């Protein structure tokens, strides 16, 4: 097993490496091997943060990282909650896309990946992995794979583009990977389509590859684990991990209730934990990934759009201008840091909103999860009666006579 297998454990070569190692997931689980803890973390991070990257990457060996993937698949199968399976598959795909983009050198052609500190892999190899090698080719030149040769035989001319990071993809492949829920820009009416080929840029290609990865990860999930002596032993050994993960996906109803019935956002009625996170964000304190996810998903659960959330967190343009003036007066790099944070939050909000629009729930973490990560702060009497931050907010709003007075102009509709 090598580092490429660890970075892309769903590749066929990684699966072969696991089979050749002759190590069954069942033996790893019953022996409580490190791969079990990493598999647990893999799924937990997927549910909480939309990534499968480890928070302690140096803790795990390459072998453990590879073997954690089949363990993670067992865990989500035992949980057997469609939303959890969907989140897990999306997180694996999103993480893989980030890794591919990171591995590609900015100063070389897109078809060359870095070979230092990890095994190299060509862009064509990635396309081949997902059966796209004969469906995608560069739009810059006629010196391309077999597809262009086939077009030549048909005496059909495709437009050449000067952009080195542009491609043509066969219509069938495009339609099989592009999701109609992605928005208007992905509809064929918004695309250049010629002779059964669709013009896409490099970002589009990575999005389509991400979709292919998600399909592969989700394929076969969930599968039966219980029902045999060996399967029952596995389930028993995973009891604690499964209980922990099920807790993370058990609070969808609260997010559904608030999204359906709240016309404004009243930060003064937020639970103490969220008020603390809002205060930290406003003071430009860098939030841990899990804390930022908890805060943003809480706000998204109330149908808050990007502009509303940025205003609440004081990352809107007016507040940004004021912070920039202060930063310049004291010669700090606050402007650059704040801009980076704002862009990251914008991306996270849009991602969560897009996934909810597609029917995928990303509820804020429960109180138990907030406590586990040290994000539960200054609990009050109401905290003792609820199980998640959204429920706290609903009860707080219901308890006041005129809740709109607390909105402070933060209306959502």
Instruction: Show Cβ contacts of residue 350 under 8 Å, excluding neighbours closer than 6 positions.
Output: 306
**3-state SS assignment for residue 104:** strand
- The residue whose two tokens read 């064929």 is 188
Determine contact, residues 269/406, Cβ cutoff 8 Å: yes
Instruction: Show Cβ contacts of residue 398 under 8 Å, excluding neighbours closer than 6 positions.
Output: none
Residue 137, annotated as binding a ligand:
no
* Region of 32 on the Ramachandran plot (φ > 0 left; ψ -120 to 50 alpha; else beta): left
Determine contact, residues 268/408, Cβ cutoff 8 Å: yes
What gap in Å lies between CA 336 and CA 315, rounded to an integer?
12
What the block records as the tokens of 273 is 């934990």
Residue 47, annotated as binding a ligand:
no
Residue 362, annotated as binding a ligand:
no
What the block records as the tokens of 331 is 């010669």
* Relative orientation angle of helices 82-103 and 34-49, to the nearest 10 degrees: 100
Burial of 221 (0-12, 13-18, 19+ CB in 10 A): middle
Residue 367, annotated as binding a ligand:
yes
Q: DSSP string of 156-222?
A: ------S-TTEEEEEHHHHHHH--GGG-GGGSGGGS-EETTEEEEEHHHHHHHHHHHHHHHHHTT-S
Q: Which residues are annotated as a binding site for [4Fe-4S] cluster?
A: 273, 367, 376, 383
Q: Which residues are annotated as a binding site?
A: 273, 367, 376, 383
């Amino acid at each position: 097993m090598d580092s490429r297998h660890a970075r892309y454990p769903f590749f066929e070569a990684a699966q072969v490496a696991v089979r050749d190692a002759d190590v069954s997931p069942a033996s790893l689980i019953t022996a409580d091997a490190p791969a079990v803890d990493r598999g647990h973390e893999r799924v937990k991070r997927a549910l909480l943060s939309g990534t499968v990257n480890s928070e302690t990457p140096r803790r795990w060996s390459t072998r453990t990282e590879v073997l954690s993937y089949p363990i993670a698949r067992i865990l989500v199968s035992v949980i057997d909650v469609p939303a959890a399976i969907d989140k897990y598959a999306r997180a694996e795909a999103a993480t893989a896309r980030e890794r591919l983009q990171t591995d590609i050198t900015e100063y070389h052609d897109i078809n060359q990946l870095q070979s230092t500190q990890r095994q190299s892999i060509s862009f064509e190899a990635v396309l081949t992995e997902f059966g796209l090698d004969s469906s995608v080719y560069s739009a810059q030149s006629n010196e391309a794979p077999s597809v262009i040769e086939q077009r030549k035989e048909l005496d059909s001319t495709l437009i050449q583009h000067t952009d080195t990071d542009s491609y043509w993809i066969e219509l069938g492949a495009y339609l099989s990977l592009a999701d109609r829920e992605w928005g208007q820009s992905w509809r064929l009416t918004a695309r250049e389509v010629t002779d059964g080929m669709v013009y896409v840029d490099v970002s589009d290609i990575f999005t389509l590859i991400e979709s292919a990865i998600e399909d592969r990860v989700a394929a076969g999930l969930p599968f039966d684990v219980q029902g045999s002596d060996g399967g029952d032993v596995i389930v028993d050994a995973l009891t604690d991990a499964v209980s922990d993960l099920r807790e993370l996906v058990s609070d969808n109803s609260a997010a559904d209730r608030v999204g359906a019935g709240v016309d404004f956002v009243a930060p003064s009625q937020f639970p103490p934990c969220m008020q603390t996170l809002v205060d930290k964000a406003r003071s430009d304190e860098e939030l841990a990934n899990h804390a930022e996810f908890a805060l943003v998903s809480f706000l998204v659960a109330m149908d808050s759009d990007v502009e509303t959330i940025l205003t609440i967190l004081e990352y809107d343009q007016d507040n940004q201008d004021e912070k920039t003036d202060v930063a310049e007066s004291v010669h700090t790099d606050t402007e650059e840091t704040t801009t980076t944070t704002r862009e990251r939050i914008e991306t996270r909000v849009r991602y969560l909103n897009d996934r909810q629009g597609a029917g995928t729930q990303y509820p804020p973490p429960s109180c138990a999860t907030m406590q586990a990560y040290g994000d539960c702060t200054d609990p009050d009497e109401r905290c003792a009666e609820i199980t998640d931050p959204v429920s706290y907010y609903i009860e707080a709003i219901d308890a006041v006579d005129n809740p709109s007075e607390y909105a402070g102009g933060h209306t959502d509709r």
